[in-house]
Structure 1
Amino acid sequence: MNGFRAPIETLGELDVKAAATLVAAAADVALVVGDNGVIRDMACQSPELQSALEGHGPLLGQTFADTVTTESRPKVEALLREAGDQATPRRQVNHPSTRGMDVPILYSAIRLPSGPLIAVGRDLRPVAELQQRLVEAQQSMERDYTRLRHAETRYRLLFQMSPEPVLIVDTSSQRVVEANPAAAQTFGDLGRRIIGRPLLEAFEPDTVPAIQALLAGVRSAGRSDSTRARLVDSGRTVFVSASLFRQENASLFLVRLSLPERDGAGTGTESRTKLLRFFEHAPDGIVVTDRDGRVLAANPAFLDLAQLASEEQARGESLERWLGRSGVDLNVLVANLRQIGSVRLFATTLRGELGAQAEVEISAAAVANGAEPFYGFTVRNVGRRLPTDARAGREMPRSVDQLTELVGRVSLKELVREATDVVERLCIEAALELTGNNRASAAEMLGLSRQSLYVKLRRYGLADAGEPVEPEE
């Protein structure tokens, strides 16, 4: 340890008080130890440190060796034994604490000419905490590295053992970065040297534009329908699908090839593609929601009914937003889907974003999807077959079942009027049947005049055309 080169000239003569102040300011803790090793005085910069050191009792009056842990006593004895007019080598000792962890202090000692020894210590707890954090960070990094290594091992094993041909393709150069054994076997002779070569070289020239369109759609939208292509080496037809992912700072395609089961027969991928095309071109609105009724997907026909410009405007919104009776229709539909699994011809209205309304019939089904089922709705616009006036041009219901079908299409007042007409007609038909179509007897049975009966017969279409109305007697 290097000291001052000329302390007498630069510092002058320091009195005892100034020396004590200097020692107390320079150290976290300073102990004055007598010849017998007993602590005679101490200075501590931090009350918190002093409280930690004196957790088992005051240090004053105790021997220095008794204030430290058992393994630190030989270090204290060596520190006292080696103390002279020059500072001793530093030694780290631990003071026991009632707060759990020991208090590490780095001491050096110097013996004064007057006899006592001064032990100057530095609190090592901040360093210990920093070391502990470093160790924890290193352990966390090792755990993360182990998880990544295991994940990579599982990915490699799955990639190599997958029976489906899979390729990793660079998006910028469209060159194959990786290919699993199934892909190499599918490409035949070209498969042995496919890595590092352009993906499009593996397909017939007339099918290359379709694959380019597929990759362009995936790059712009993140997903795209599969497309049909033919391999150069064997001329075999395959279905190509792709998805986009990022790795570090590069974008890559995950390209999958699906092989037909037999010539002229489509695979499940082709069937799914046809279903997706039907979904897009269906004349009726089709909506897929989660179990809470929030839209996951919607076809253009539904977007037209709801007066929406794009599917993104509907996605994530509740279907209730467009149904006629807020808080009623969707709750009824979802409740029936959860209990029964399907709903048929539920009549309601659908409100567009711009104020238009349409009379619709909704059929729906619940589709199991693990722990999170989803619901599919078909929405059919029946406004053209329903006249504007709910009563005009519509045949009167002939049964209770037909009457209940009007719920949601007409008001309650109209329903009551319809129910009254149905009951009245059924009673007249029953009276005519009981009396053998004798109008006079039927009128007497019903408590009506013959004129009133004939008026009602004409109203309900039960009278013959051109049949005169008999005057009331």
Structure 2
Amino acid sequence: MVAAASDVALLLDPHGVIQDVVIGRDDLDAALVADWVGQPWAEIVTVESRAKVEALLKEAAGPPRWRRVNHPQASGSDWPILYSAVQISPPGRGKGTGRTIAFGRDLRATEALQLRLIEAQQAMERDYWRFRQAETRYRHLFQASSEAVLIVDAGSLRILEANPAAVALIGNGGAPRRLAGGSLTALFESPNAKPLQAALAAAKAARRADVVRTALADGGGRVAVSLSSFRQDDASLLLVRLARVGAEPAAASPVTETSMLLDFVRNAPDALVFTDQDGRIQMANAAFLALAQLGSDEQARGEPLDRWLGRTGVELGVLIQTVRQRGSMRMFSTLLRGEDGASTEVEVSASAATQDGKPVLAFAVRDVGRRLSAEPRAAGELPRTAGELTELVGRVPLKDIVGETTDLIEQLCIETALKMTSDNRASAAQMLGLSRQSLYVKLRRHGIGDLSDDEG
């Protein structure tokens, strides 16, 4: 019955010493509680939980109360359990008197969900501020543009927004008119003219229509009307650009395969960089300039890519060497450093190509710093940031944090270097700044890989 009522149950004597432990779930490892019997309950919890244990023992005779208690584990993480203590026999002199049962519920699954929720909330906040910044940029461009632009609902042809240039053009030098809320067709002298109606229908169906010339109402003069459609929040909208006849922009040149690829490279959401065989940048798109915190591509052209990409001085060299040998490489994890000091975790895919008979290297750099991890960090895994490391303070003594993380850092660096160099130990030793013999000594000490006698 006790096992069915809780995940973990503790039978305690009048002094709070554990006499027996009952596990109520088959998926709980009995090794976690193997050494609890015979120890005081307050000695097997973290420092901040001892006061809660004492309170639970004092309150055992009264109405049940639940308190969260953390148990330290050998892996360095805590095991959170929600306890309620119930006194099963009153204090006395006889055998078995004053005993208490503490019913516990395992909170690890709940804690993992809470951590995931916090990470999701932080990701949503980051996205929210990025959208706010994008909206601010759009508003500035919309208001400051010298081209007359209207945003129109495609179904009702009602004007949703008009920039100052559109108000000035349609007002024709008179008093400013309020355009938002009015009808698009009411702006023109012949709203039912076939060319204008055909252009509106073409824009709705094919996203873009040919430029139509028509006259504005009230003697506003002739204008060239350019229409294109787009979707926002499941609504179909029209982007209407107006220009005085004779002042409209030249017609766009036919779209070719080369221009499509070039347009994709320039506007791709992932950072794209092209370098020569030595890693000097020949071309970089806007996404890379944003990650590297550069104002223009002239600041990047001719500079070595490892000025921004890579954790160590030889990391990019290893990547370039691998691409030369294999022709391509995918999902190389590294760090990109911005000019203003910001750093971003990125994944790099690279391939070799030719341009006008000359070999070039193409790099695709993806920001992975804001990805949510599929699972909470495993116990014992090295924290990636100082913020995560400080979470251990108060739960683990400082000397233990320093002692355990030193070996973890060394082991993690060696394993990462071997992974990035496809287990090439000579390249890994160069990346780590070690001699090959020193690397072999550390490999043997950490039990990484298989070493032959002549290597060890």
TM-score (norm: length of structure 1)? 0.50
Q: Distance in 2 between matches of 1:268 and 1:78?
A: 79
Q: Mapping of 1:213-292 within 5 angstroms?
A: 213-260=198-245, 265=246, 267-269=248-250, 272=251, 288-290=256-258
Match of 1:194 among 159, 166, 179: 179
Match in the other structure for 1:72: 49
Q: 1:27 and 2:3 equivalent?
A: no
Q: Distance in 2 between matches of 1:65 and 1:31?
A: 12
Q: Distance in 1 between matches of 2:109 and 2:191?
A: 71
SS at match of 2:28: helix
Query: In the TM superposition, what whole-angstrom CA distance separates every residue of 1:157-196 from its partner, at most 9, and x where no partner exists?
Result: 1111111000011111212111001100111158512221
Shift of 1:199: 1.1
Higher RCO structure (Cα 8 Å, ≥6 apart): 2
Q: Distance in 1 between matches of 2:210 and 2:236?
A: 19
Q: 1:212 and 2:197 equivalent?
A: yes
Query: In the TM superposition, what whole-angstrom CA distance separates every residue of 1:27-71 from its partner, at most 9, and x where no partner exists?
Result: 1001111122211110112465345744xx711111100110000
Q: Distance in 2 between matches of 1:118 and 1:77?
A: 14
Q: Mapping of 1:53-132 within 5 angstroms?
A: 53-54=32-33, 58-84=35-61, 88-113=64-89, 114-115=96-97, 116-132=99-115
Q: Distance in 1 between matches of 2:3 and 2:196?
A: 79
Match in the other structure for 2:373: none
Amino acid corresponding to residue 238 of structure 1 in structure 2: V
Match of 1:169 among 138, 152, 176: 152
Q: Distance in 2 between matches of 1:202 and 1:210?
A: 15
Q: Distance in 1 between matches of 2:259 and 2:236?
A: 34
Q: Distance in 2 between matches of 1:150 and 1:111?
A: 59
SS at match of 1:225: coil
Q: 1:44 and 2:12 equivalent?
A: no
Query: In the TM superposition, what whole-angstrom CA distance separates every residue of 1:222-252 from its partner, at most 9, and x where no partner exists?
Result: 1121111222244423211111111223211
Name the CA shift for 1:71/1:156 in 2 (closer, same or farther; >3 Å): same
Kept after mapping to 2: 8 A contact 1:53/1:96: no
SS at match of 2:201: helix
Q: Distance in 2 between matches of 1:206 and 1:131?
A: 58
Query: In the TM superposition, what whole-angstrom CA distance separates every residue of 1:414-449 from its partner, at most 9, and x where no partner exists?
Result: xxxxxxxxxxxxxxxxxxxxxxxxxxxxxxxxxxxx
Deviates more, 1:242-251 or 1:126-135: 126-135
Kept after mapping to 1: 8 A contact 2:20/2:37: yes
Amino acid corresponding to residue 268 of structure 1 in structure 2: P
Q: Distance in 1 between matches of 2:73 and 2:87?
A: 28
Match of 1:155 among 110, 128, 138: 138
Q: Distance in 1 between matches of 2:148 and 2:85?
A: 75
Q: Distance in 2 between matches of 1:52 and 1:223?
A: 68
Kept after mapping to 1: 8 A contact 2:159/2:180: yes
Name the CA shift for 1:150/1:100 in 2 (closer, same or farther; >3 Å): farther
Name the CA shift for 1:202/1:190 in 2 (closer, same or farther; >3 Å): farther
SS at match of 1:59: coil
Kept after mapping to 2: 8 A contact 1:53/1:103: no
SS at match of 2:16: coil
Amino acid corresponding to residue 223 of structure 1 in structure 2: R
Deviates more, 1:138-147 or 1:243-252: 138-147
Number of aligned positions between the proteins: 261
Kept after mapping to 2: 8 A contact 1:190/1:202: no
Kept after mapping to 1: 8 A contact 2:229/2:238: yes
Amino acid corresponding to residue 107 of structure 1 in structure 2: Y
Amino acid corresponding to residue 70 of structure 2 in structure 1: N
SS at match of 2:15: coil
Kept after mapping to 1: 8 A contact 2:185/2:191: no
Match in the other structure for 2:445: none
- Structure index of larger Rg: 1
Shift of 1:121: 0.8
Shift of 1:219: 1.0
